[in-house]
Structure 1
């Protein structure tokens, strides 16, 4: 227990210093200003090429979603995720140690030993595939769906809706991603930054008020015209748990036949059954899964 209290203290002290450095020093892998830059660029594209032309510049819940962007990207890390990530890693190593094993015994691949571009591609594919499966789990598990409803409570799509989610979601994503990443190992700071900003940009574009599908690349990359159907209130009768689960890549949906784009979804109604009763204030949205029975 003493060891985990030390992890708790070091996690928050270290992350506070890191966050302060991010805010006061600009560098190419700066996550704080990177979020701001990507958001401004995609918002600018929305204003120049709006798909839903009658949608207001400051659409419904624009400021709430903007708050979620910074809360989930930075404050959430400060409050919860850093400690949980570090504690989970230590607990996993302790369990292996108790069994007389080491994590290195499970490492199947060392990305550092591969050419940078190839290693980066493998890192990106594995990360996205695990997240695609996790996203499906959020829809199929009634318990997790109660948390994921927050993201689907968006009624007008815009770039900031990308990061509107309950704090429990990244706990699930990071927990399920830990072992696969530990098995491949060897990814460096540059690889993590490239994958991070790629996913951030694609995710912002997916939720933006843009009518793009990227032509033939739509079969590889998730896109606004595909993702709008993921948020559709009315789902196909044979896919009541959802469709188009892609995070950055659409190819998993095409490979596993969870794709669904019946027609131009520009004006399709968004949400989920019963969303009219979903709370509209931040605190109530955070408490919703606790107060709601499956």
Structure 2
């Protein structure tokens, strides 16, 4: 039954984003069945299993220790607030955790190898949002969810955060020219996130937030010019198939050449 529901959700999402990307394309010449689309379908269908298991084990283990040190009064205070306020707070807290984890994946050479899989995307669309190495996703989502769960936010508030995160993740990767107007400084948009994936020197290590550009503005990593990027991807030698990409972080050479996050010299493109 769960798998059936997942397939229905995938179909609904596809029926929303495929027409949207045809009606309001950012890159009009990009095909629906663009390069490596089959590989990203494999991510969409199968990547969720190891990610869910990894999150269950890691967050479950960490919560045992956290529950022992956080006073119950904290949870009582948080849950005494209305759900709408908890949801806003949960998004703020979770996205700060996401920002810090994401920035760390860019800064630490070994972690960058996992994150380079996501940055190997050369044609942005809703489907490409799923191309994430399980280790990358498990650690990043743990950094997002753990403080939210540790503080005791109510289930409905956490669910609202999860729904908003999933929807926004698909939208910001999509091949659409949807503009947010003045709200682009408040909510992550395709313009904001496309620059994170840009293979242009001035865009390296920018726009780490998943939902709120606020964190990038406060921490000095915001980059959102009026024009859109001309090229996406990274120069790392990331293979093109799912099973090869899973093994790439372990089998790839050490930092140097085009491997690893960008260097101050400007020789590497993330």
Do they fold alike, i.e. is TM over 0.5? yes
Match of 1:68 in 2: 43
Aligned to 1:12: none
Displacement, 1:257?
A: 2.6
* TM-fit CA distance, 1:129: 1.4
Distance 2:173 2:145 in 1: 27
CA contact (8 A) 2:63 2:146 kept: no
1:289 and 2:264 equivalent? no
Q: How does 1:165-204 map to 2 (within 5 A)?
A: 165-177=132-144, 179-188=146-155, 190-204=156-170
Q: Distance in 1 between matches of 2:82 and 2:105?
A: 35
**Are the counterparts in 1 of residues 117 and 133 from structure 2 also a CA contact under 8 Å?**
yes
Q: Does the aligned pair in 1 maintain the 2:51–2:137 contact within 8 Å? A: no
Q: Unpaired runs of 5+ in structure 2?
A: 256-270
TM-score (norm 2): 0.84
1:54 aligns with 2:36: no
Which residue does the alignment assign to 2:238? Answer: 278
Long gaps (5+) in structure 1: 1-19
1:38–1:201 Cα contact (<8 Å) kept = no
Q: CA deviation at 1:185?
A: 0.6
Map of 1:123 onto structure 2: 90
Aligned to 1:269: 231
Aligned residue among 170, 187, 198 for 1:232: 198
Equivalences for 1:10-25 in 2 at 5 Å?
Answer: 20=1, 22-23=2-3
> How far is the alpha carbon of 1:219 from its aligned partner?
0.5
State how far apart, in whole Å, the 1-side matches of 2:7 and 2:56 are.
16
Give the total of aligned pairs.
254
By how many angstroms is 1:230 displaced? 0.7
Change (3 A) 1:108 1:84: closer
Deviation at 1:159, TM superposition (A): 0.4
Give runs of ≥4 in structure 1 deviating > 6 Å: none
Contact 1:159 1:207 in 2 (8 A): yes
Shift of 1:89: 2.9
RMSD (Å) for aligned C-alpha atoms: 2.4
